Amino acid sequence: MHSADAVPVMVKRLPGNDDLPLPAYATAGAAGMDVVSAEDVDLAPGARHAVATGLAMAIPEGFEIQVRPRSGLALKHGVTLPNTPGTIDSDYRGELKVIMINLGAETFSIRRGDRVAQLVLAPVTQASWVEVDTLDDTARGAGGFGSTGGLAALPG
């Protein structure tokens, strides 16, 4: 269920990009808005590229926009975002670029107007550090990676 009140985000099309659609929700239940490429890129296997979107935005204070991969590109072509989710901070005013990587075996062609990522508007809570000499005890304690067991530890 979506919030009753949409949060306005100011967006500016950069010169030469009037033909591209603004980010949009594909369905009524979508959490992410599809954003498209403003350039043609051939992404070789193992290559990375910051794909231009032709957009800049003013995200309201107290929010971020998370940049997330499109699952179809990842499953079908091995193309994803290496820093996912990426964060666009509310004080950034430059062009939104989507860092993409081709983990597939073949060159992947991105064409102007292709959907390349999803954008999710999210609230931000800033931390206030409180330095202490000791921390409370928990059942897990200092157990790190894999300390809670593997798949065999899951209830059947």
pLDDT digits (tens, 9 = 90+) for 33-80: 999 999 999 999 999 999 999 999 999 999 999 999 999 999 999 999
Q: Say how many domains are in the chain.
A: 1
CATH number for the domain that contains residue 121: 2.70.40.10
| pTM of the complete model | 0.86
How far is CA 47 from each of CA 22, 63, 101, 110, rounded to the nearest angstrom?
Answer: 27, 31, 6, 13
Q: Is residue 3 part of a domain?
A: no
How far is CA 80 from each of CA 39, 69, 140, rounded to the nearest angstrom?
Answer: 17, 5, 33
Q: Is residue 32 part of a domain?
A: yes
Q: Is residue 20 part of a domain?
A: yes
The pLDDT > 90 percentage for the chain reads 85
Residue 51, domain extent: 10-125
